[in-house]
Amino acid sequence: MRVSFVKMHGLGNDFVVLDARVQPLPPITAQLAAALANRQQGIGCDQLIVLEPSTRATVKMRIFNPDGGEVSACGNATRAVGLLHGRDATIETAAGLLTAKPHDSGPAHGSITVDMGAPHFAWGSIPLAYAMDTLAMPVGWPIDETHALENPVAVNVGNPHAIFFVPDTNAIPLDRLGPIIEHDALFPERVNVNVASVTSRTTITLRVWERGAGLTLACGTGACATAIAAMRRGLTERRVTVTLPGGDLLIEWTPAGTILMTGPATISFTGSFESTDYGAAQ
């Protein structure tokens, strides 16, 4: 079976997008998702995105990490789907209904705003393995003999995030600590690990270890969770620019309680592949 795809990215967080609405697709298994995401032997991406018909939204979006696991939310991918649709859209995800609005003019021209819904803070909604204060979690992980990464904020924005505020994000060995924290028993569904520095009342710098994907140039849900964590701690205003290695996202916590994320998305190229080359059945 020959399958067409669109390769896209949001600030360097890249996706292979398959659209079941316009072509038949092979069964999307964990093995197929992992094979397509492989950067040496596949197409290569941070997430495989599968679009399907929806009975309650413009489109249904499914998200697969490079380890083959399916996850509930991806902010950058939601913007990419909004760009593909080309006009206002409602997107069904496992985390709920999201809305995407492309901007064709004005200061935000060329970007897409996504309403990511309301954040969740209760320990059981993250989820954590046991009850604790999610605004200042009394836990930590050693960086070296004298320093620890500790007292994170936990936020669920469709997927679970732990946010650590540090003086210098580049001083944290996130490539080493990320997988340790991700797989800690405290997080029964694993966790995305964010290290952030608040640089002013309206700006934050951020690096993210993404659950099932590793270090990433950008993480939309990570930017949302980090901004909300900073706001809850009183460190920033309710509208901030979050700077990731791949670029900037504008995050706003609205009076209605939902999160608006605004940023770019880009089509890199299109192509096709033979599904049987990746172990899929015809």
137/250 same-domain check? yes
Structural domains counted in the chain: 2
The domain in which residue 78 lies consists of 2-115+265-278
Q: How far is CA 163 from the centre of its chain?
A: 14
Residues 36 and 56 in one domain: yes
Per residue in 196-233, pLDDT (tens digit) is: 999 999 999 999 999 999 999 999 999 999 999 999 99
Residues 6+ apart with CB under 8 A from 47: 13, 14, 15, 16, 37, 63, 64, 65, 66, 71, 74, 77, 213
Same domain, 95 and 139: no
Task: Say yes or no: 253 and 127 in one domain.
Answer: yes
Supply 242's token pair: 């979050």
- Among all residues, which ones are annotated catalytic? 74, 219
| 5-14 pLDDT per residue, tens | 999 999 999 9
CA 187 to each of CA 17, 184, 196, 212: distance values in angstroms, whole numbers, following the listed order: 29, 6, 20, 13
For the chain, which residues score pLDDT lower than 50?
none
Residue 202: per-residue pLDDT: 98
User: Looking at residue 120, what is its pLDDT?
Assistant: 98
* Confidence at residue 281, expressed as pLDDT on a 0 to 100 scale: 58
Structure token digits, residue 162 = 């732990």
- On whether the CB atoms of residues 244 and 250 are closer than 8 A, the answer is no
On whether both 179 and 234 belong to a single domain, the answer is yes
**Same domain for 98 and 127?**
no
pLDDT the model gives residue 33: 96
Distance CA 175, CA 165 (A): 17
Residue 166 near residue 172, CB atoms below 8 Å: yes
- Where are the alpha helices (H) located in 183-263, listed in sequence order? 220-232
How many residues belong to the chain? Answer: 282
Q: Using DSSP bridges, classify how beta strands 13-19 and 2-10 pair: parallel, antiparallel or unpaired.
A: antiparallel
Residues 23 and 94 placed together within one structural domain of the fold:
yes
**Shared domain check, 234 and 129:** yes
- Give residues with Cβ within 8 angstroms of 182, minimum separation 6: 190, 191, 192, 193, 209, 211
CATH number, position 165: 3.10.310.10
Same domain, 96 and 155: no
- In this structure, are 107 and 217 located in the same domain? no
Do 21 and 106 have their domain in common?
yes
Residue 278 forms beta bridges with which residues? Answer: none
Kind and range of the H or E element at 77? Answer: helix 75-85
Question: Do both 111 and 127 map to the same domain?
Answer: no
